[in-house]
A and B are shown apart, each in its own frame.
Chain A
């Protein structure tokens, strides 16, 4: 019995090993790809962040000097971090609320809904560069559609948008709303999953639409809100393309975002080592913010099947 059992086990483990090997073999392209194109660059950037490295010649170990320069000497580091935090703290919540509101509107039962849904989703699949160039025109203070519209409703001192440091970030946030379709579809899908029975029960108990939304819909949506929040957080910290294409960081550094500053340091200033250090600092900040959000989620995210 014992003998037979051992025999069986060893046969089983031989087979398991074989399966493991076959599995590994099939996974190899991805494992190799991940190692070569993701894991190695990540590791290399950590090493470079501790080096003086111009991106061309051999890196030279300098310890934490890059981090010290970053924190103590680089005024643009703090400026760009503050600009980026503005997008995270102001831009992200606005974007999330707007896409939720659009999703709620598109969750109504009226004719031609699929058309409207497509309409609102469409902008989010246009390339960012194309969108950015389009919005450059819309935001033009003199001949842009936005200011022409504002003038037609009697706004005489319309903002200079991208040419005015006090408005440039707001302009980018407004432009971001145009791409709200991406998170909107996720909300929409989740809204369709909200059990009608619960909503009806709330109504029977005398809840108005706002109360039903507040106490039934929002809790049911909370996992998706968390998802959109985390993804949005990571995306906002990496805000780059729009500023690169539209403003190049100006006017007066008002749209100099962290990723743009990092890019300039790496590719214009021959400071790849320093840029790597910046990337790791950003990683730590993003990680910390995400961790805080996830930690707090236990208090506000409701998963069906859990004790309420």
Chain B
């Protein structure tokens, strides 16, 4: 009894060491083949498309083997945070949101890619659309590349436009026209509830740009939350809550949660205009194939910006802790070249961020795709500002919007307050990053 009970004590550490040792070991691969680990944030259909594209890579690059692991959903993005904290990251990952890029880059956990890009003859500013290129550069250096991006525009129901006495071939171009169209399309039931409404514009982050505003000054790097244009944008968003009964609109709009199901309000003609993106196309094809619809870019006020859209998406980065940076870049360089980007975006319904990919016939044949590509190339395409605290800032912008639109609070005062708090946050983060 006693003798046997001693054995595990003696063996315990050895067993433990073996287990830990195995876990720490790099995976074995055939001789001469370098294996790199790639974390992807895409799953399901998108994952399968990636697998197919990956097969092409393996065919042309027999000396690199990419092991792709899906880190899906919110927990996947948390796992990324923990991996960075522990320094045990994969060699490459696409699980960093554009919003978080500056936060990670400024904390020194990402490899600056400029040297690699130069050597490979790449030029991000020439290859990528303006908004995306701007988004990828943090403090003058490139920390990631993208294979997908999105656009924002308004889809509208042409039949409702005709019914409301509007010309379906001449959609609103200005804010005033949009307001008028929204009013014309809105119908109430006898009890005052909505039968249909025109539009419920949302997203102060985007509309601030439309109104000519901005969230930070690229020259000084300072926060500009209470830019007068931003205040005007927020006042306009809030005006919809005043003009239409906010409670009823909220109740009516809550079906928006189901905008990607067959009874989404736009699909069944309960909403005339839908602030959406190029991905709407596949849903409309699936759920409302007979819907007579078209699209127009976000209308703007006299001092505003035409063809405004936001840019974003998942960013491919090479962690500083990667032990196979060369191989990881070879893979990244290939992945973000026009052919794979074109194939990936076409299969998953995104807009290609590479100008060359967007020029391919596959994107130029379809009128909506052609429009989305043109919109994505607009000089007024804005990605997340390169601020290390942008996720916090973005959330606070949404809160201010809620307070103005639902709580009826004063837009000017809300954004002054936001400015004060974000200046404070910026000071705190910069102090923290300086040490």
For the complex formed, measure the closest distance between the CB of B427 and the CB atoms of chain A, giving whole angstroms: 13
Are A252 and B402 closer than 8 Å at their CB atoms?
yes
Bound form: Cα–Cα A60–B406 in Å: 40
Are B5 and A22 closer than 8 Å at their CB atoms?
yes
Are B8 and A142 closer than 8 Å at their CB atoms?
no
Q: Which residues of A sit under 8 angstroms from B103, Cβ to Cβ?
A: 270
Q: Check if B177 is an interface residue, CB within 8 A of chain A.
A: no
Query: When the two chains form the complex, which single residue of A28, A56, A60 contacts B81, counting CB atoms closer than 8 Å?
Result: A56
Are B251 and A250 closer than 8 Å at their CB atoms?
no
Are B392 and A268 closer than 8 Å at their CB atoms?
yes
For the complex formed, measure the closest distance between the CB of B190 and the CB atoms of chain A, giving whole angstroms: 12
Are B389 and A165 closer than 8 Å at their CB atoms?
no
Are A25 and B255 closer than 8 Å at their CB atoms?
no
Number of residue pairs A-B, CB distance < 8 angstroms:
74
For the complex formed, measure the closest distance between the CB of B96 and the CB atoms of chain A, giving whole angstroms: 13
Q: Which residues of B sit under 8 angstroms from A250, Cβ to Cβ?
A: 402
Are A142 and B247 closer than 8 Å at their CB atoms?
no
Bound form: Cα–Cα A57–B250 in Å: 43
Bound form: Cα–Cα A162–B250 in Å: 10
How does the 8 Å CB contact mask read for A158-190 relative to B, with 1 for contact and 0 for none? 001011110000000000000000000000000
Q: Which residues of B sit under 8 angstroms from A251, Cβ to Cβ?
A: 250, 402, 406
Question: Using a CB-CB cutoff of 8 Å, which residues 135-156 of chain A contact chain B?
Answer: 136, 140-143, 156
Q: Which residues of B sit under 8 angstroms from A136, Cβ to Cβ?
A: 257
Are A56 and B109 closer than 8 Å at their CB atoms?
yes
Q: A18-B2, A268-B395 are in contact. Are A57 and B251 (CB under 8 A)?
A: no
Interface size in chain B (residues, C-beta < 8 A): 37
For the complex formed, measure the closest distance between the CB of A184 and the CB atoms of chain B, giving whole angstroms: 31
Are A160 and B257 closer than 8 Å at their CB atoms?
no
Q: Which residues of B sit under 8 angstroms from A267, Cβ to Cβ?
A: 78, 81
Q: A25-B5, A264-B395, A267-B81 are in contact. Are A164 and B247 (CB under 8 A)?
A: yes
Are B406 and A165 closer than 8 Å at their CB atoms?
yes
For the complex formed, measure the closest distance between the CB of B411 and the CB atoms of chain A, giving whole angstroms: 15
Which chain A residue lies CB-closest to B409? Answer: A252
Q: A25-B5, A251-B402, A252-B407 are in contact. Are A54 and B247 (CB under 8 A)?
A: no
Q: Which residues of A sit under 8 angstroms from B84, Cβ to Cβ?
A: 56
Are A253 and B81 closer than 8 Å at their CB atoms?
no
Query: When the two chains form the complex, which single residue of A57, A143, A253 contacts B399, counting CB atoms closer than 8 Å?
Result: A253
Q: Which residues of A sit under 8 angstroms from B9, Cβ to Cβ?
A: 25
Bound form: Cα–Cα A136–B256 in Å: 12
How does the 8 Å CB contact mask read for B1-35 relative to A, with 1 for contact and 0 for none? 01001001100100000000000000000000000
Are B407 and A163 closer than 8 Å at their CB atoms?
no
Are A156 and B191 closer than 8 Å at their CB atoms?
yes
Q: Check if A55 is an interface residue, CB within 8 A of chain B.
A: yes
Q: Check if A269 is an interface residue, CB within 8 A of chain B.
A: yes
Q: Which residues of A sit under 8 angstroms from B5, Cβ to Cβ?
A: 21-22, 25
For the complex formed, measure the closest distance between the CB of A196 and the CB atoms of chain B, giving whole angstroms: 50
Are B254 and A163 closer than 8 Å at their CB atoms?
yes
Chain A interface residue number, banded: 20 to 34
Q: A56-B81, A57-B107 are in contact. Are A142 and B432 (CB under 8 A)?
A: no
Q: Which residues of B sit under 8 angstroms from A54, Cβ to Cβ?
A: 107, 432
Q: Which residues of A sit under 8 angstroms from B81, Cβ to Cβ?
A: 55-56, 267
Bound form: Cα–Cα A269–B424 in Å: 14
Bound form: Cα–Cα A165–B246 in Å: 13
Q: Which residues of A sit under 8 angstroms from B435, Cβ to Cβ?
A: 60
For the complex formed, measure the closest distance between the CB of A134 and the CB atoms of chain B, giving whole angstroms: 13
Bound form: Cα–Cα A52–B9 in Å: 40
Bound form: Cα–Cα A58–B429 in Å: 15
Bound form: Cα–Cα A141–B257 in Å: 11
Q: Which residues of A sit under 8 angstroms from B254, Cβ to Cβ?
A: 140-142, 160, 162-163
Q: Check if B403 is an interface residue, CB within 8 A of chain A.
A: yes
Are B255 and A143 closer than 8 Å at their CB atoms?
yes
Are B255 and A142 closer than 8 Å at their CB atoms?
yes
Q: Check if B252 is an interface residue, CB within 8 A of chain A.
A: yes
Bound form: Cα–Cα A270–B85 in Å: 11
Provide a sorted-by-A list of 13 A–B residue pairs whose CB atoms are within 8 angstroms. A25-B5, A28-B12, A56-B85, A56-B109, A60-B435, A140-B254, A251-B406, A267-B81, A268-B392, A268-B395, A270-B107, A270-B388, A270-B389
A interface residue numbers (CB < 8 A to B): 18, 21-22, 25, 28, 52, 54-57, 60, 136, 140-143, 156, 160, 162-165, 250-253, 264, 267-270
Q: Which 4 A-B pairs rank lowest in CB-CB distance, beginning with the nearest?
A: A141-B251, A163-B250, A269-B392, A268-B391
- 4 more CB-based (< 8 A) A-B contacts, given A142-B252, A142-B255: A136-B257, A143-B263, A251-B250, A270-B388
B interface residue numbers (CB < 8 A to A): 2, 5, 8-9, 12, 78, 81, 84-85, 103-104, 107-109, 191, 247, 250-255, 257, 263, 388-389, 391-392, 395, 399, 402-403, 406-407, 429, 432, 435
